[in-house]
Structure 1
Amino acid sequence: MSADPNIDEIVHRHGKAIVSMDIGQIMTDLMPEAMTKLQQAAGGGAAVQIHSYELLGHTRDGEDEVYDVKYIGPQSFTVRARWRRFGSEWKIADADIIARD
C-alpha cells in the first residue's frame, strides 16, 4: 500500500481503462513523454488487445509511486509505471515495458 491510498485506486482505474480501451482516460493518465515512450516500445502506437491486468508490485521512490502492472492478452507484457503528482493529479511520468510473455 502506498503512502497515498488514492493512488492505488488511480492505478486500478488506469488498468481498467487499458482493458476497456478508454482512450480519454488513458491520455489523461499519461504525460506526453511517457505516452510516446510506450507507443514506441509497443510497436508504433498500434492498438494492442488486452483482456485483463494484474498488479504485480509497488515501491516508493522519493515522491514517486512505482507500480509493475501485467497486461494480459494474446501478447502479454509488464509495464513499470512511475506515477507522480502534478498539482493535485497523479499521472504516469515515465513507463517502461520490463517483460513480455
Structure 2
Amino acid sequence: MGQRAAGTCYVKVDGVQLTVNGNCEAPLSDVKRESMVPGYFKEEDLVPYLKVAAVFTPDFPIKKLVSGTDMTITCEFKNGKVYVLTGAYLVDEPSGKGEDGTVDLQFDGIKGVWQ
C-alpha cells in the first residue's frame, strides 16, 4: 500500500488561508551542529521559519502580511505533519510575479513547532 508523502500544502496566516502551489519549506531542527573534532561539536540556534510559494489571488491579504509582526502561521503538509510558527513576520523582499502569478514568502518567527 502506498503512502502519501508530498503534494499540496495548506497554509493559514492568523486564520486566513492562503492559496499555495505546494511549495512549502520548514526546518526540521531548531539548532545547527558542526563538528569541531570527532566526538565534539558546537551548536548554534537557528531562527524558525516557513517558506511558501503562494498564488497571487485577487483577494491576497497584502496589508495583513506586510504589517503583521506577531502572526501565527500554520502549514499542513500532505503527509499529515503540521508546522506552527508563532511570533511570525515577513522577511526579505516579497514581490508579486505577473508571469506565473505567485509570491514567494518567507516568514521568520519566535518559535516553530512540529505537531
TM-score, normalized by length of structure 2? 0.28
The structure carrying a bigger strand percent of its residues is 2
The structure carrying a bigger helix percent of its residues is 1
TM-score, normalized by length of structure 1? 0.30
Report which of the two structures shows the higher radius of gyration computed on alpha carbons. 2
